[in-house]
Copies of this chain bind each other. A is one copy, B any other.
């Protein structure tokens, strides 16, 4: 295969930040993707309809000229019904960061269930819940421990559509088949790396992210599900830019920046496993089916020509800076 055409690729988990960083990174997603789920974890968070409108405007401004739909999210809190009703037309879902979840997953469930009234309203109003699923336990166990919370939520709110964001474990993959209302995003990098790539040789801050990359058997389970275009699994890059000064330092921030290289990375990965025909589903169709969204129709043509990944985009170091990929994006037409 020397050419690959994708239609309306979508990134179902993306951080585009704000201000100068927004202007650097948002176009790098909008140039390849027809839409992306925009995370609300700014400081302060996007947790009012007013702030949502402001941020939507910012993202639209930064991606002007591209056929690109920002699918906005609110930051989860104890919203009133009026707030949810007002927000609903403007969001794809509400993102929950379980700040209150403690080491113990039972406590996690209790903490989460103190918000049951909000989940019930979201279920009724058909607003999806997007979840960063980690307890505050030992770093390698956090997601698996959180699976109890997913089970409790999925059971108690059977019509609430729940996205397990950026899953990293075999345990989370298995949950997909247990509960009809659970779906998930997975990042390209979690299909490829394990903790060995972060800390098995030299320590690589540019591969450090949360949830942290796990064990080989976890990576393999994620990869198999993605390659098979699992019907409940969507590509969400969690591309998360930080300036190099926040990465190569004594307290390195979590986040891997992949936005501009996602499609070439995935083309290489799916080709290597002889399932290039499943890439369209993984990077677009599944998301459209699961969320019922209709993004702008774009045609992205990749060609089998080498692309050397730049050392920097602005002051952000991308994953695999300096490496060469066998595919590149040749054209995007709307």
- Across the two chains, which residue of chain B brings its CB closest to A194? B138
Expressed in whole angstroms, the minimum distance between the Cβ of A206 and any Cβ of chain B is 6
B250 touches A249 (CB 8 A): no
**B-contacting residues of A (Cβ < 8 Å)?**
138-140, 194-196, 198-206, 208, 212, 215-216, 248-254, 317, 321
Complex A-B, nearest 5 residue pairs according to Cβ-Cβ distance, in ascending order: A203-B252, A202-B251, A139-B200, A203-B208, A139-B196
- Across the two chains, which residue of chain B brings its CB closest to A142? B200
Chain B residues with Cβ below 8 Å from A250 are 204-206, 248, 317, 321
Chain A facing B: main interface SS: loop
CA distance A202 to B251 in the complex (A): 5
B200 touches A138 (CB 8 A): yes
Chain B residues with Cβ below 8 Å from A203 are 203, 205, 208, 251-254
CA distance A215 to B195 in the complex (A): 14
- Across the two chains, which residue of chain B brings its CB closest to A206? B250
B194 touches A212 (CB 8 A): no
Given contacts A139-B199, A205-B205, 5 further A-B contacts (CB under 8 A): A140-B195, A203-B208, A204-B250, A206-B250, A248-B250
A254 touches B138 (CB 8 A): no
B253 touches A215 (CB 8 A): no
Expressed in whole angstroms, the minimum distance between the Cβ of A100 and any Cβ of chain B is 17
A254 contact from B202, B204, B249, B251, Cβ within 8 A = B202
- Across the two chains, which residue of chain B brings its CB closest to A217? B138
Interface centre among A138, A199, A216, A321 (most CB of B within 10 A): A199
CA distance A78 to B197 in the complex (A): 32
CA distance A273 to B312 in the complex (A): 49
- Across the two chains, which residue of chain B brings its CB closest to A139? B200
- Across the two chains, which residue of chain B brings its CB closest to A136? B200
CA distance A212 to B212 in the complex (A): 15
Chain B residues with Cβ below 8 Å from A216 are 138
- Across the two chains, which residue of chain B brings its CB closest to A245? B248
